[in-house]
Structure 1
Amino acid sequence: MTTTLITGANKGLGFETARRLVAAGHDVWIGSRDAHRGGRAAQRLGARLVLLDVNDDASVAAAARTVEAAGGLDVLINNAGVEARTADNGVAGAEETTADLMRPVFETNVFGLVRVTHAFLPLLRRSAAPVVVNVSSGLASLSRVTDPGDPAHPYPGVAYPASKAAVNMITVQYAKAFPGMRINAVEPGYTATDLNGHTGVQTVAEGAEIIVRMAQVSPDGPSGGYVDAHGPLPW
């Protein structure tokens, strides 16, 4: 049985991804900072809970020990993420963006992803078919954001797109370093979740589709890619 860990999986895209992978026969770990919400989600899904705060070294190390003691890991889905918002819950544009505003976004979206991946690499390297899925964004595409005709172009934020562009580069470099693993970045699309105040135009079922697909990629499948449900995206 394939064992899968999903960070930030007690709600939204992570929860729906977990639901779909449990249905596909995966043994799923719900990574959650909150024991109550994570435990409730795991119970609803028939999954297992592991307390995991991607911003905390000790928490991540403890989660890795828990998963290792239970038998190991085949698939890691780095789903946990945050966006920079202003006091009135709008997107912080260039004028409002400060280093202090960007820091927590990078702490979760970039450093948290690296922290988790680094901690679980020894387990993944023991798997016969290791897979890493990094949840990125269409806003990480410089080609799209600089194209006036693209829907991503009007987005005013700095911190979130910059953090996801970093995720794309991290994905490429890890894929080069570990050719025996399938490591890809995915764009779920503009999905209605807490991240965007449920303003997205897709359901979580639609958004989770590409995450679920790439979590099940075969050992001879693509690696180092940046894709959405329709195929490769421009960097």
Structure 2
Amino acid sequence: MIVILTGAGVSAESGLGTFRDKGGLWSRYDLSEVATPDGFAADPALVHDFYNARRANAAEAEPNAAHRALARLEAEADEDVLIVTQNIDDLHERAGSRSVIHMHGELFRTLCAACGARWDAAPALSTADACPQCRAAAVRPDVVWFGEMPYHMERIVEALERARLFVSIGTSGSVYPAAGFVAEAKAFGAATLELNLEPSDGATGFDAGRYGPASEVVPAWVNEVLGSAR
């Protein structure tokens, strides 16, 4: 089994990295105000405005060559391939990947903070929206904020136990628990590989690394894997 962790570097070439660029949305907001439970409690309208903008940006983006290569790997490999993504966009799925775990939630899903119901998000959410199940005005984006537990951790650990190969793509190597996955995978006997624009904070923990734009290094690696599988 191949377990692949993806981060912001996979989607940056689709235009979603602009949130962290100078003048981008991230630079115009205090993350403690828009990406924490306390921030949402203090000003839910601000948080909705922020994620409405992110949702619009993601809806206009298209999968890039890295997303498409990973979908091809899943379709053509002679073993199971699982993507564990820190990204909240849907570009992996739109590229054709089916085995995807969103550990930080999904931008295009909505969560009721009162009853826990989940449903597909409208293009724009507001404080006036009510949960279709319990009718509470407690609607929030179904994303994991700072201070909250990532989703599906039991499934992820089970996959790391089964992995023959663990690959980290486009991640900083500084955000836990994902930054610890390479050590967990190695402890279970997996080989490990980093594909990134440049070495991450945790690069020394990998058996090997390849560096450059995701749209170049990921397809090249997938071609090698599928070539050796034939």
Normalised-by-shorter TM-score class: 0.3 to 0.5
Structure having the higher strand fraction is 2
Which TM-score applies when normalising by structure 2?
0.32
TM-score normalised by length of structure 1: 0.32
